Amino acid sequence: MDETNIKMGWQEWVSLPSLGLPAVLAKIDTGATLSALDVISTDVFIKDGQEYVRFGLRPVPERPDFICYHSAPVKDRLDITSSNGQTENRFIISTTLCVDKNMWEIDISLTNRHTMQYRMLLGRQALADGNVFVDPTQDFVQPKLSYGLYRQILD
């Protein structure tokens, strides 16, 4: 990652290639320290002495029957208080975030966001790691992606 500022609006399309997610609509949330990703289930297992978490995602809102399963090493478990004041112990994983041609590693908490409009929140920590400048008066500053990128998987 170079030192060039990446400009983003208050909502952007991103991808998480390490998780096989080519298009995720994210809300840029400078009020959140950590990023969050919507998952429907978590299951812990041990592989080579390392704790892993297996999780399911519904990446395409219009296709709730389409579920992707992934696993990742558990980086941490943290008590996180959401904007509604509820505290939840969440798994933290590291993954690659891709914004246009820029890629960097971020930490993401796994939580159920099914009642929320956005499947992902991109928090301050990820924004700082990517040297991102947020313009809250704009949206979709970065190239637009679409859920059509899942067509290969869905067919």
Check pLDDT > 80 for residue 4: no
- The domain spans of the chain are 6-154
* pLDDT, tens only, 22-48: 999 999 999 899 999 999 989 999 999
User: Which pLDDT score is estimated for 13?
Assistant: 94
**Separation between Cα atoms, residue 10 and residue 134, nearest integer Å:** 7
151 or 80, higher pLDDT: 80
**Separation between Cα atoms, residue 42 and residue 82, nearest integer Å:** 19
* pLDDT, tens only, 53-99: 999 998 888 888 889 899 999 999 999 987 778 899 999 999 999 99
User: Which pLDDT score is estimated for 146?
Assistant: 83
User: b or e along 44-59 (b: 16 or more beta carbons within 10 Å of the residue's beta carbon)?
Assistant: eeeeeeeebbebebbb
* pLDDT, tens only, 115-147: 788 889 999 999 998 889 999 999 999 989 888
Residue 139 vs residues 103, 134, 146: alpha-carbon distances, Å = 20, 10, 15
Residues 19 and 114 sit within 8 Å (Cβ to Cβ): no
Predicted model pTM: 0.88
Sheet holding 50-57, edge to edge: 41-47, 50-57, 68-73
User: Which pLDDT score is estimated for 5?
Assistant: 86
Q: Which two tokens stand for residue 77?
A: 């478990």
Helix (H, G, I), strand (E, B) or coil at 30: coil
The amino acid present at 25, given as its one-letter code, is L
User: Which pLDDT score is estimated for 12?
Assistant: 96
Give me the numbers of helices (H) and strands (E) for the chain, helices first please: 2, 12
Residues 14 and 98 sit within 8 Å (Cβ to Cβ): yes
6-154: which CATH topology? Cathepsin D, subunit A; domain 1 (2.40.70)
User: Which pLDDT score is estimated for 150?
Assistant: 79
Check pLDDT > 60 for residue 155: no
Residue in this structure with the two tokens 């899942």, named with its chain if needed: 150
